[in-house]
Amino acid sequence: MKLHYSKILLFSLPLNILVSSSYANNKNKAYIKSHTASTTSRVLIEYDLYESNYDNDPFMKSVKENFHRQTSQRFEEYDERMITQRQKFKEQRDKDIQKIILKDKMDKSLAEKVEKVCLMCGCGLGGVAASVGIIGAIAVNEFKKAALLAATQDAIAEGAVAGKAAGDIMGVSELIKGINTEFGASTLVGKELGSIFNASNYTNETFISGYIEAEYKLLSCESLNAGTGAHQSFCSLVMQKTLVEGHTSGEISTLEGITKSVTQLVTKAKGAAALKTSEVTTTQTTILEAAKKSAIETTCMGYQTTIIASIVAILIIAVLMFMIYLILRYRRKKKMNKKAEYTKLLNQ
């Protein structure tokens, strides 16, 4: 509410009107003074009741001036208080506005930073997904090639080992069979042939010949009573090896005959061993290579599945980041549009 000095300072005018009205209503009535003045002080009712105008009265002038002065002083104090309050309100309003502006800037800056981070993350993750897809596929392919080459080499080596073992077994078996056929012996010096000959000595002609000669001497085949049965058969077969057609004396030494026959047996055993080695090596190499390749294919398939799953997960995260960026951008623009509308309305 605004107060005007003119309305307050003209307080004397209604007072004069009130006094004049009272005089007009009472001037035609009989008035009998019922008492005499008991005071000597000058009071408005006693002395100036019927005065129509107090403008020339020094006391009234003093009263009005005092009233005007006090009223003016009070209004000045009121104005000063109002100015102080307005200044406080203005300062508080400015502080609130500054806080709102600062908060708005911080929110805007934070929103922009979040938007940029989401956009950068989305773009970065998209690039990572592409890189993982390309580099991962190349890496898995190169790993597969190297693994297949190594698997082939390992299969060949393992097949050769398996073939060698099988060939040795075949060679020993062929040698024992030949000794049984050529010499009619299943044991030598009281030992089974299988316990004497193995993969390390079945091609040693001197070793084999020595055992046969020892058996020959053990049975005393050169005497007239060489024994009977199997022993006699062994002795006669060994003696037949010493008879050579075209020789000057008609026969060779026992060791030479045994060695000659053993050489033929060893040659047959080596041939059988080589054939078996080649066969088993080829078969085992094929089997081992197929098994190793299957294992490598399975492993690489697992790697590819892992890479694909990683790419899908990265792409999903990238899409979510991009969607968050779009949502935040839409909300920020909507908020800015509302603020612009409010500002426009306030300015109007």
The domain locations on the chain are 1-25+41-87, 136-313
The pLDDT tens digits of the residues spanning 11-69 come to 444 544 544 444 444 444 444 444 454 544 444 444 455 455 566 777 777 888 888 88
CA–CA separation, 289 vs 114, rounded Å? 55
CA–CA separation, 317 vs 120, rounded Å? 12
Neighbours of 141 (CB within 10 A): 12
The pLDDT tens digits of the residues spanning 253-294 come to 788 888 888 999 999 999 999 999 999 999 999 999 899 888
pLDDT band at 166 (very low <50, low <70, confident <90, very high): very high
Better pLDDT: 223 or 229: 223
**Average pLDDT of span 59-82:** 84
In DSSP terms, 192 is beta-bridged to: 187
pLDDT attached to residue 110: 75
CA–CA separation, 148 vs 140, rounded Å? 12
Is the predicted pLDDT of residue 313 greater than 50, yes or no?
Answer: yes
CA–CA separation, 307 vs 313, rounded Å? 10
pLDDT attached to residue 11: 47
CA–CA separation, 228 vs 221, rounded Å? 10
Better pLDDT: 55 or 127: 127
pTM for this entry: 0.53
Q: How many CA atoms lie within 13 A of 298 on its CB side?
A: 6
Better pLDDT: 219 or 156: 156
Among 170, 160, 163, 188, CA closest to 269? 170
- What's the mean per-residue pLDDT of the chain? 77
